[in-house]
C-alpha cells in the first residue's frame, strides 16, 4: 500500500482500470473494428514515460484481467501486452523526443504488433482467418494517441508521477 | 521474458486442457462490476424511458398486447389438439416421444468487445441452474450455446462465430447439413452440400439434434441463395440466421428435463412449458 502511495502509483493502476472499462464499453456492431486498443495505448504511455512506476507484472495482470473480461483465452492479451511493453521499452528514450504525429506513427506500429500477437493466439483456437481489417484498431489508436497523451501528461504532472 | 513464457504456458494450458476452468469460474466474479459500470449510462436511459412514458402510450401498448395475446391463444388452442394428435401418431409409429423443454428467460448484458469473437454475456449463471452446453434461443430461432458459466452471469457463443458449427436439416424434406459460422452476424454457410441436393431458396433450416447438443426442431436459418459453380465440388449455399442476433435483448435458455416429462400427459405438458 505504501508503495502505491509513495509515488502516486495508484494513478497508473487507476488509468489501467479506466482503459479496461473503455475496452469493454458497448459499441454498435458496425463500429466494432473502430475501437482503439485503449489498454495497449496506456501501457505504451506508462512504459515509455514512467517506466519506474509500472511493472511487467502489473501489465501481465492487466492483460489477464482483460482476457477474463472478454472471455478470451487466458493469457492472450497478457502475451500481446508484454510484447508491446518490451518493444516500447526498447524504443523508450528516443520516443520521448519525437513530435506528436511521429509518436502516433510509432503507436500505430506498436498496436499493430499487439494485434498480430492477439490475432495469432486467437486463430490458434481454430477461428477462420480475417482479412486485414484486424489492423483497423491500430489506425484508430494512432488517431487517439495525441488526445490520450495530452490527458495523461496533465495527470502525470498533476500527481507528480515520475 | 519470464512473464512472456508464463503467458505462453497459461495460454497453452487453457487451450489444451480444462484445468483452468474452475479458476476461471471463480475469478470471473471480477468481470461483473466492470460490465455493470459500462452499462450504467444505458440502464439509466432505459430506466428513464421506462418511467417517463405517457399514459396514452401505455394504454395503446396494452391494447396491442391484448390483441396479440388473443391471437396467440387461438393458435395455442389448435396447437393442443395438434400436439395430442402428434403424440398419438408417434405412438402408432413406435417412435420416441418428443421431449418438451423448459426454458429460463435471461437478459443480454453485453456483446463481446472483441470483434473477432461472437460471444454474448447473459445475466443468468450457476445460481440459476445454467451449465455449459445449454442452447440459447430468442423468439425467432436458435442463437447459440453457453460456453462459460460464472456465479451470476455466463457467456454464450453465437452460431455465427467462426469456431461454431451446428447440425441442421431442411424442414421441407429432412436433408441434413452442417451450418457453420463465418464470423459475420448476418450469414452462415452450409458445408459440403453436393450440387445435386434438393435445397431451394427460402427453405427453412431447423436444428436436427444430431450433435446431442441442440434440441430437435428449432428454426436456425433460411436459405437465401444457392450457387452451382461447375468448377467447385460443392454447392455454395448462403443462409441467414433466423434469430435476431443483433436485436434480441431477452433470450431463452433451454433446460432439457427428460426425467420430469416421462408421464403419460406429455401431450398437455408439451405446450405448458414452464417459463420462469
The residues, ordered by sequence, that sit 6+ positions from A73 with a Cβ below 8 Å of its Cβ are A67, A121, A122, A125, B11, B14, B15
B231 contact A CB<8A: no
Considering only CA atoms, give the Rg of chain A.
15
The residues, ordered by sequence, that sit 6+ positions from B275 with a Cβ below 8 Å of its Cβ are B103, B105
Q: Which of A69, A77, A140 to mutate to test the interface with B (most CBs of B within 10 A)?
A: A69
B39: helix, strand or coil: coil
Cell 462490476 belongs to B33
pLDDT digits 0-9 by tens, B141-156: 899 999 988 888 889 9
Residue B243 in contact with residue B114, Cβ under 8 Å?
no
A84 contact B CB<8A: no
Query: Is the model's pLDDT at B275 over the cut of 50?
Result: no
Which pLDDT belongs to residue B256? 66
Q: Which residues from A are below 8 Å from B117, CB to CB?
A: 70-72, 122, 127
Greatest Cα-to-Cα distance within chain B, rounded to the nearest angstrom: 69
Least confident of A28-37, A98-107, B90-99: B90-99
Cell 441442421 belongs to B168
Query: Is the model's pLDDT at B131 over the cut of 80?
Result: yes
Give CA torsion, residues B138, A71, B163, B239, to 10 deg. 30
B162 contact A CB<8A: yes
Higher per-residue confidence, B94 vs B197? B197
Which pLDDT belongs to residue B274? 32
pLDDT band at B100 (very low <50, low <70, confident <90, very high): low
For A87, name the nearest residue in chain B, comparing CA atoms only.
B1
pTM: 0.79
CA B247 to chain CA centroid, Å, is 13
Query: Is the model's pLDDT at B19 over the cut of 60?
Result: yes
- Among left, alpha and beta (phi > 0; psi -120 to 50; other), residue B148 is beta
Q: Which of A24, A74, A86 sits opposite B24 (nearest CB)?
A: A74
CA B70/CA B222 separation, integer angstroms: 28
Which pLDDT belongs to residue A142? 95
Query: Is the model's pLDDT at A6 over the cut of 70?
Result: no
B86 contact A CB<8A: no
Which pLDDT belongs to residue B127? 85
Query: Is the model's pLDDT at B265 over the cut of 60?
Result: no
pLDDT digits 0-9 by tens, B106-124: 988 888 888 888 999 998 8
Query: Which ranges of A25-55 would DSSP assign to H, the alpha helix?
Result: 38-49
Mean pLDDT of B42-67: 88
pLDDT digits 0-9 by tens, A60-81: 999 999 998 888 888 899 999 9
CA B145/CA B147 separation, integer angstroms: 6
Residue B131 in contact with residue A88, Cβ under 8 Å?
no
Distance from the Cα of B153 to chain A's closest Cα (Å) equals 12
Give CA torsion, residues B41, B42, B47, B49, to 10 deg. 110
Query: Is the model's pLDDT at B206 over the cut of 80?
Result: yes
Cell 501528461 belongs to A153
Q: Do A78 and B7 touch (CB under 8 A)?
A: yes
Pick from B275, B220, B251, B240: nearest CA to B138: B251
**Whether complex ipTM tops 0.85:** no
For B119, name the nearest residue in chain A, comparing CA atoms only.
A71
A88: helix, strand or coil: helix
pLDDT band at B23 (very low <50, low <70, confident <90, very high): confident
pLDDT band at A111 (very low <50, low <70, confident <90, very high): very high
Which pLDDT belongs to residue B167? 93
Query: Is the model's pLDDT at B99 over the cut of 80?
Result: no
Distance from the Cα of A35 to chain B's closest Cα (Å) equals 9
Mean pLDDT of B183-190: 89
pLDDT band at A2 (very low <50, low <70, confident <90, very high): low
Query: Is the model's pLDDT at B262 over the cut of 60?
Result: no
Amino acid at each position: 500500500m505504501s508503495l502505491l502511495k509513495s509515488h502516486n502509483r495508484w494513478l497508473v493502476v487507476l488509468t489501467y482500470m479506466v482503459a479496461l472499462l473503455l475496452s469493454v464499453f458497448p459499441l454498435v456492431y458496425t463500429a466494432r473494428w473502430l475501437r482503439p486498443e485503449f489498454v495497449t495505448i496506456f501501457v505504451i504511455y506508462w512504459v515509455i514515460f514512467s517506466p519506474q512506476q509500472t511493472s511487467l507484472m502489473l501489465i501481465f495482470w492487466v492483460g489477464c484481467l482483460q482476457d477474463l473480461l472478454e472471455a478470451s483465452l487466458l493469457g492472450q492479451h497478457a502475451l500481446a501486452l508484454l510484447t508491446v511493453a518490451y518493444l516500447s521499452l526498447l524504443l523508450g528514450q528516443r520516443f520521448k523526443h519525437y513530435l506528436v504525429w511521429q509518436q502516433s506513427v510509432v503507436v500505430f506500429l506498436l498496436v499493430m504488433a499487439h494485434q498480430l500477437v492477439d490475432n495469432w493466439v486467437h486463430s490458434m483456437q481454430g477461428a477462420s482467418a480475417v482479412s486485414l481489417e484486424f489492423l483497423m484498431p491500430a489506425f484508430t489508436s494512432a488517431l487517439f494517441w495525441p488526445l490520450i497523451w495530452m490527458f495523461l501528461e496533465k495527470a502525470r504532472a498533476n500527481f507528480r508521477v515520475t | 521474458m519470464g512473464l512472456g513464457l508464463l503467458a505462453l504456458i497459461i495460454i497453452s494450458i487453457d487451450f489444451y486442457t480444462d484445468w483452468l476452468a474452475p479458476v476461471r469460474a471463480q475469478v470471473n466474479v471480477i468481470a461483473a462490476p466492470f460490465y455493470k459500470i459500462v452499462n450504467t449510462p444505458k440502464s439509466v436511459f432505459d430506466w428513464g424511458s421506462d418511467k417517463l412514458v405517457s399514459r396514452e402510450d401505455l394504454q395503446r401498448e396494452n391494447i396491442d398486447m391484448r390483441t396479440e395475446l388473443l391471437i396467440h391463444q387461438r393458435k395455442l388452442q389448435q396447437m393442443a389438439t395438434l400436439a395430442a394428435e402428434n403424440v398419438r401418431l408417434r405412438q402408432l409409429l413406435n417412435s420416441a416421444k418428443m421431449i418438451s423443454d423448459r426454458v429460463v428467460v435471461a437478459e443480454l448484458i453485453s456483446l463481446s468487445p472483441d470483434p473477432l469473437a461472437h460471444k454474448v454475456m447473459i445475466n443468468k449463471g450457476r445460481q440459476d441452474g445454467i451449465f455449459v452446453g445449454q442452447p440459447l434461443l430468442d423468439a425467432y430461432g436458435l442463437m447459440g450455446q453457453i460456453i462459460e458459466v460464472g456465479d451470476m452471469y455466463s457467456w454464450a457463443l453465437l452460431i455465427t462465430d467462426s469456431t461454431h458449427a451446428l447440425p441442421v436439416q431442411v424442414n421441407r424434406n429432412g436433408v441434413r447439413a452442417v451450418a457453420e459460422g463465418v464470423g459475420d452476424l448476418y450469414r452462415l454457410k452450409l458445408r459440403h452440400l453436393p450440387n445435386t441436393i434438393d435445397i431451394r431458396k427460402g427453405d427453412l433450416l431447423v436444428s436436427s439434434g444430431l450433435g446431442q447438443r441442440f434440441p430437435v426442431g428449432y428454426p436456425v436459418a433460411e436459405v437465401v441463395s444457392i450457387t452451382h459453380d461447375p468448377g467447385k465440388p460443392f454447392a455454395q449455399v448462403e443462409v441467414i440466421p433466423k434469430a435476431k442476433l443483433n436485436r434480441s435483448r431477452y433470450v431463452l435458455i433451454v433446460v432439457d428435463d427428460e426425467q420430469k416429462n416421462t408421464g403419460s400427459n406429455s401431450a398437455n405438458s408439451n405446450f405448458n412449458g414452464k417459463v420462469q
